[in-house]
Structure 1
């Protein structure tokens, strides 16, 4: 175990194993949740279950050996909803082309991770705007979750209305949300997956929405070409993603992954003082970001949307994890999930959808750290946050945020608070609207 430099990092094998298991328990929910979300794009559920587990194993293990940090990685919540609902469904883009866009953005991110671009971004994009993006993404995910649960419904007269609360399935979803919220509030580790499993058992017992116990809990991984991993593996279409109208999609994947990864990785590192060393800290940060980028590139080939560092890694760090051995334990634990396909398939949708709302709440909490006393920040944050769910597009939220920030600074003649980063992203945002106009969508 000397490879992981345990003594140098003031830890030991037992501590790292406990930290890895703790992280695993808090993030295992990603398998049923991500599979359920992305299956709406037309991809097979069984294939997605295997793909999600597999990419988590590969990305976490790669980070363990390459960066030696206790950061586990998997398919990013928020980006999977953007992939499915904003790209595939709203824009009628095939999932194969969307995977191609994920590959391109991941490859660009990989190249940038070996440069000082991340430092340039941190210095040029105000932290408040990055926090607003996270909060806006939270609103977007929550909006989708509410719709999937049936709590809200489409209405031709007022756009959105309250759902049918006489529907037992809607009431069951609300019950599951309350259950998960309770477990989270009392700080139960693994609150999400425990809530999912408990509500699933209730649904199976009472046959809610025709849910029933799985005939088997274990099976060999499904690699078939018909409905297993083979149906989505290496099916990405990179050529169709090399289209001028796909630029906003690629940029959204890239920018969101960059900000999400930087925020998560630095946050996890701060909890354990992992990147504090003046010599090794910057190197470890860059290598962890590179692992993130490699994960996304591989994930698009395996058949998933953007891979990112998981904030749940903080639970492992708080349990004492300090090295890549923690991430390696997470990867090993996820190997076991490859044999739980019948269990994951039997979980009812409304045992899963409430997790979207919980993730949205956690993302939206970043709004408390935004400086609303600054007019430009306040206006840009407002547009960023509300336009993501209102337009069903993360890209549009970005665009409104950057453009409004630039305009307010210009109106107030606050030239010293403008920089090339803001100007470039604002011009790209304007370009996005021009592309939409060219497509005849406005």
Structure 2
């Protein structure tokens, strides 16, 4: 049955590998179960309700990806978009969280329409292969930077960022950062030795080392310092809390909402989600070898539709925009090639509702090494970008795209800078034939975004 559904032999994989890859993807994404409720609770939402909504929306979206597109990509509440909702829409603009959820719902409906009309697919195909490869490299650096931050290795300073001082708060932040380095070493060696499930084993191994440190007193939990116990607690979640957010996107008083500002909010969600999703799909598809000779993803339309359906469902359930996660790369690096990987991840998200405290106990320093290692694996695509002088018109935009993602902490910013620079450089250098018509439209839209959004 699984063979018929996911064409395992045709894709050169098996059930054991796919399941292990799905578990790996979930483990690297599990942090969202702690982070998303924490962020959206700042908008006035109940954290338990957000947790349940996140689990169900992730399950629905990932299953859509599994059965509609047969791709090993997982979906959940997008980082950055949840912060935009909590701190900009509900914070700076002062809108109730119900209004923000309605904007996300409308955005999802627009995405469904765009996916049916091939607009999103056309955008994906219009981006030149050099930029697609650059996006993969840029995402690699971006998630590696996230990994360094989650590990506590990269911290804020007068120079914006620096290496942490391990001696400072050693029994909390210091030991966690050190454990992340040990975990990265373990994971790297296992991966080089071609041990199956090396990333997953590295996550569990690092977590176990952390528990041992807590038991022996090397790691000391301190809630005020953000250092919580690494030993999972066992209690059930209050499922009735979901009623506090379910369907609340339709409970909006439009008299208190400015129409123009509301439209701006919708398009802000739309723009960021569109290019974050496209960037993620391009990046992970490139690394997984799923793009054809022309740089196209054969299953792009159902993949985009799965993303749109997940966003719409998530808004109804009570969470911010649900999107394809770059952490899917971890599962792909572990051998995931089909929708069975996504199905496994989706099921784990659903099960996590029952044992949410256990999954939330997975510390960031244990999953951070996976992000850093996967960042390297995606970075390796840089060798496929032709940087010879005769190709500077494509190489320089690719370079700008790459450095923009980690520096500006945004996949969509990297894409926009890459697209704008590609069009301008090729146009000025007399290579108009290299520019597809849709690239002009994208460049103009990106410029307008910087002016008005």
TM value normalised by structure 1: 0.75
Which whole-Å CA distance do the structure 1 matches of 2:8 and 2:409 have between them? 47
Spell out, residue by residue over 1:249-289, the C-alpha distance to the aligned partner (whole angstroms, 9 max, x if none).
42121122134235546865849xxx99xxxx95x653344
Per mean C-alpha deviation after superposition, the further-off stretch among 373-382 and 136-145 is 136-145
Q: Secondary structure at the match of 1:209?
A: coil
User: Structure 1 residues 406 and 313 mapped into 2: Cα distance closer, same or farther (>3 Å)?
Assistant: same
Residue 100 of structure 1: CA displacement? 4.9
Q: Is 1:297 aligned with 2:312? A: yes
User: Structure 1 residues 184 and 412 mapped into 2: Cα distance closer, same or farther (>3 Å)?
Assistant: same
Residue 427 of structure 1: CA displacement? 0.6
Partner of 2:221: 209
User: Structure 1 residues 375 and 161 mapped into 2: Cα distance closer, same or farther (>3 Å)?
Assistant: same
**Contact 2:131–2:398 under 8 Å retained in 1:** yes
Q: Is 1:198 aligned with 2:208? A: yes
Spell out, residue by residue over 1:25-70, the C-alpha distance to the aligned partner (whole angstroms, 9 max, x if none).
2122145311233345243654454344323332333445545x26
Residue 424 of structure 1: CA displacement? 0.9
Partner of 2:237: 221
**Contact 1:257–1:306 under 8 Å retained in 2:** no
User: Structure 1 residues 297 and 16 mapped into 2: Cα distance closer, same or farther (>3 Å)?
Assistant: farther
Spell out, residue by residue over 1:355-388, the C-alpha distance to the aligned partner (whole angstroms, 9 max, x if none).
5544544444443332333223232223223333
Partner of 2:323: 307
User: Structure 1 residues 105 and 30 mapped into 2: Cα distance closer, same or farther (>3 Å)?
Assistant: farther
Residue 232 of structure 1: CA displacement? 4.8
Residue 117 of structure 1: CA displacement? 3.3
* Superposition pairs of residues 294-373 of structure 1, within 5 angstroms: 294-302=309-317, 303-308=319-324, 310-311=328-329, 314=332, 318=335, 327-328=342-343, 330-373=345-388
**Counterpart selection for 2:417 from 400, 410, 421:** 400
Unaligned runs of 5+ in 1: 437-442
**Contact 1:146–1:357 under 8 Å retained in 2:** yes
Which whole-Å CA distance do the structure 1 matches of 2:368 and 2:444 have between them? 36
Spell out, residue by residue over 1:315-360, the C-alpha distance to the aligned partner (whole angstroms, 9 max, x if none).
78x57x86x6665455444443332223234344444555554454
**Contact 1:105–1:251 under 8 Å retained in 2:** no
Over aligned residue pairs, what C-alpha RMSD do you find? 4.0
Partner of 2:225: none
Q: Is 1:135 aligned with 2:151? A: no
User: Structure 1 residues 356 and 236 mapped into 2: Cα distance closer, same or farther (>3 Å)?
Assistant: farther
**Counterpart selection for 2:27 from 17, 29, 34:** 29
Partner of 1:176: 179
User: Structure 1 residues 170 and 121 mapped into 2: Cα distance closer, same or farther (>3 Å)?
Assistant: same
**Contact 2:148–2:372 under 8 Å retained in 1:** yes
**Contact 1:173–1:354 under 8 Å retained in 2:** no
Q: Secondary structure at the match of 1:243?
A: helix
* Superposition pairs of residues 35-184 of structure 1, within 5 angstroms: 35-43=33-41, 46-66=48-68, 69=70, 71=72, 73-75=74-76, 79-80=78-79, 82-85=80-83, 88-89=86-87, 92=91, 99-100=101-102, 102-155=104-157, 157-167=158-168, 168=170, 169-184=172-187
Spell out, residue by residue over 1:143-170, the C-alpha distance to the aligned partner (whole angstroms, 9 max, x if none).
4443454433334x53334433323233
The number of residue pairs the alignment matches comes to: 412
**Contact 1:19–1:315 under 8 Å retained in 2:** no
Spell out, residue by residue over 1:94-144, the C-alpha distance to the aligned partner (whole angstroms, 9 max, x if none).
776665554444433322333343553344211221232343344344444
**Contact 2:63–2:342 under 8 Å retained in 1:** yes
* Superposition pairs of residues 266-285 of structure 1, within 5 angstroms: 270=290
Q: Is 1:287 aligned with 2:297? A: no
